[in-house]
Amino acid sequence: DAGVIQSPRHEVTEMGQEVTLRCKPISGHNSLFWYRQTMMRGLELLIYFNNNVPIDDSGMPEDRFSAKMPNASFSTLKIQPSEPRDSAVYFCASRRQSSNTEAFFGQGTRLTVV
Amino acid sequence: TQLLEQSPQFLSIQEGENLTVYCNSSSVFSSLQWYRQEPGEGPVLLVTVVTGGEVKKLKRLTFQFGDARKDSSLHITAAQPGDTGLYLCVVSYNFNKFYFGSGTKLNVKP
């Protein structure tokens, strides 16, 4: 099992540029989560999907952030335009949608906006 | 709104010492999980507890869920350098949405 796969691992971009982060969940998992981790705020849930449908996006900080899940094996998180305060590690996690199941995390994408 | 408080925020101890970290909230949760995150990696699940008063053991780690299901503790016996990492408490209201605490950063010195 390859686990949750995120790409890229590292991204450095200039302020104002569009950034797209990608995630491939574990096969058979029907819930997918996007988190952002910073020293100041810890791990914050941005959005989660059940069966490819966005359920709760209340954690998405601004309209500059958008997420899609076109099929069960792929999701994207896009920031347009990016700002220096978006610099963080972005994690994708997946799990089976049932009580108490483990969420498996990818290795994260470290985003730096200069 | 800070749902969870973890303490201490940082802990640096010598190999062989015992330690306890805490997770507290004013709300009742349906389940509580502990994760460990190592530098450069995503969090990895250690344990899930759902029943008030529940105690689970994982080798040298002992997890307890408070009777009122508002708090939990993680006790490590004879800590080893391999235990170094960020310990995260995670709670859920409805098994769909999970909230992370800010974590306890543990450093075990050889």
B16 to chain A, closest Cα gap in Å: 29
pLDDT band at B94 (very low <50, low <70, confident <90, very high): low
Average pLDDT, whole number, for chain A?
93
Determine contact, residues B67/B74, Cβ cutoff 8 Å.
no
Binary contact (B95, A35; C-beta < 8 A): no
pLDDT above 80 for B62: yes
Residues A54-93: pLDDT tens digits? 998 989 988 999 999 999 999 999 999 999 999 999 999 9
Choice between B97 and A33, residue whose per-residue pLDDT is larger = A33
pLDDT recorded at residue B28 = 85
* Tokens (6 digits) for A33: 């989560």
- B64 — contact with chain A (CB < 8 Å)? no
Counting residues of chain A whose pLDDT is more than 90, the rounded percentage is 80
Cβ contact, residue pair B96, A45, below 8 Å:
no
Q: Which token pair is A53?
A: 């449908």
Q: How many CB pairs under 8 A join A and B?
A: 50
Distances in Å between the Cα of B90 and the Cα atoms of A63, B27, B110 are 27, 13, 29
Number of neighbouring beta carbons within 10 Å of residue A56? 15
Rounded to whole angstroms, the Cα distance separating A22 from B55 reads: 38
The answer to whether residues A15 and A82 touch, using CB atoms and an 8 Å cutoff, is: yes
Are A3 and A104 contacting, i.e. CB atoms less than 8 angstroms apart?
Answer: yes
Q: Write down the mean pLDDT value for chain B.
A: 90
Question: B45-59, pLDDT tens digit by residue?
Answer: 999 888 889 999 999
Q: Is B85 on the interface with A (CB under 8 A)?
A: no
Mean pLDDT, residues B67-73 taken together: 91
Contact (CB<8Å) B95/A99? yes
pLDDT in tens, B71-92: 999 999 999 999 999 999 998 7
Q: Give the other-Cβ count within 10 Å of B10's Cβ.
A: 10
Q: Answer whether A33 sits within 8 Å of B98, measured CB to CB.
A: yes
**Nearest to A85, CA basis, from A57, A113, A105:** A113
Angstrom distance (rounded) from CA A92 to CA A106: 6
pLDDT band for position B27 (cuts 50, 70, 90): confident
Instruction: Beginning with the edge strand found earlier in the chain, give each strand of the sheet holding A74-79 in spatial order.
Output: A5-7, A19-24, A74-79, A65-71
